[in-house]
Amino acid sequence: MPKKLTLKQQAIISQLLTMHEMFPGNETELVYDTPFQLLIAVMMSAQTTDKQVNVVTSVLWNFVTCPQDVLALWHDRLHDMIRSVNYHNAKAKHIYETSQILCDQRSTDDELGYQIPQDISLLTTLPWVWVKTAKVVLHVLFWQHRIAADTHVHRVANRLAWVRTKQPEKTSEKLETLITNDYKSIAHHSIILRGRYHCKAVKPNCTSCPLLEQCKWGQKFVTKQK
């Protein structure tokens, strides 16, 4: 028998559905064709906007679809191609190392010639794959019930008092407990897009927000602006 939802969980789900109406769809904004490209794009998106990663990958994907392609590139060439993302030195190094590991681990049964681990503890053993990175990859590629919390998700969840947390990692853990699996697939992207385009860090659009009546943080913000 399904567990009864608390009033707080019911409120969160209702607000989530409102967000989803505003930002429908549940696809990542990162552009990719293969699982490996998604992994690399998410790795590059740490401290860099998805928009900037897409600018870089619009060229990079002409050369790279799988780990073997990375190993076939000159290291300096990869480095140059991703120069405009933050921490490009470290990211180029870790993309190389990750490609090497995936190539070393492949078996003759691997359809793609490599396998992206589907287990969070294995995925996070890859260089530069933090828990947040792993959760995004597992959610997008394998539809696992994960909610990664970047700064946007962390901000929105705290403003709406879904959680009271200082660190995005804690926000992610709490949201994964509060939001039932049925709604996790829409939660991940709806909250990110809401934070990115509407509930922005500096100038949130509270006056046009359908959640204003339920959001004390937003109400205080609107009062202060008057």
Q: Which residues bind ligand SF4 (CB under 6 A)?
A: 159-160, 198-199, 204-206, 209, 211-212, 215, 217-218
Residue 79 CB coordination number (10 Å): 17
Contact residues for 122 (Cβ-Cβ < 8 A; gap 6+): none
By C-beta, is 111 or 213 nearer to ligand SF4? 213
Residue tagged active-site, from 91, 132, 135, 184: 132
By C-beta, is 62 or 225 nearer to ligand SF4? 225
Are the CB atoms for 172 and 132 separated by under 8 Å? yes
Which helix (H) or strand (E) element contains residue 200? none
Nearest distance in Å: CB 126, ligand SF4: 34
Nearest distance in Å: CB 25, ligand SF4: 19
33 in active site: no
150 in active site: yes
By C-beta, is 91 or 189 nearer to ligand SF4? 189
Nearest distance in Å: CB 163, ligand SF4: 14
Contact residues for 169 (Cβ-Cβ < 8 A; gap 6+): 131, 132, 149
Within 37-156, strands assigned E span none
By C-beta, is 42 or 156 nearer to ligand SF4? 156
Residue 85 CB coordination number (10 Å): 21
Q: Kindly state the tokens that stand for 134.
A: 């792993």
Positions annotated as catalytic residues are: 132, 150
